[in-house]
Amino acid sequence: MKQSFKTGLGFGITSGVITTLGLIVGLYSGTESALAVLGGILTIAVADGLSDSLGVHVSKEFEGKYSEKELWESTLITFASKFIIALSFTIPVLLFSIKTAIILCIIWGLFLLASFSFFMAKIKKVKWWHVVIEHLLIGILVILATNYLGEFIKSFIK
pLDDT in tens, 81-109: 999 999 999 999 999 999 999 999 999 99
What band does 77 get if pLDDT is binned at 50, 70 and 90?
very high
Residue 91 lies in a domain: yes
Q: How far apart are CA 18 and CA 14, in angstroms?
A: 6
For residue 26, is it within any domain?
yes
Supply the range of the domain harboring residue 105.
Answer: 3-153
Residue 62 maps to a domain: yes
The number of folded domains in the chain is 1
**Does residue 158 have a pLDDT over 80?**
no
Residue 59 lies in a domain: yes
Torsion sign, CA atoms 69, 115, 93, 140: negative
List the Cα angle 93/85/40 in 5-degree steps: 50
Q: Does residue 158 belong to any structural domain of this protein?
A: no
Q: Is residue 95 part of a domain?
A: yes
Q: Which residues, 6+ apart, have CB-to-CB distance to 150 below 8 Å?
A: 25, 26, 27, 28, 29, 30, 31
pLDDT tens sequence across 19-44: 999 999 999 999 999 999 999 999 99
- Summarize pLDDT for 101-140 with one digit per residue, the tens: 999 999 999 999 999 999 999 999 999 999 999 999 999 9
- pLDDT greater than 90 at residue 153: yes
> Does residue 11 sit within a domain?
yes
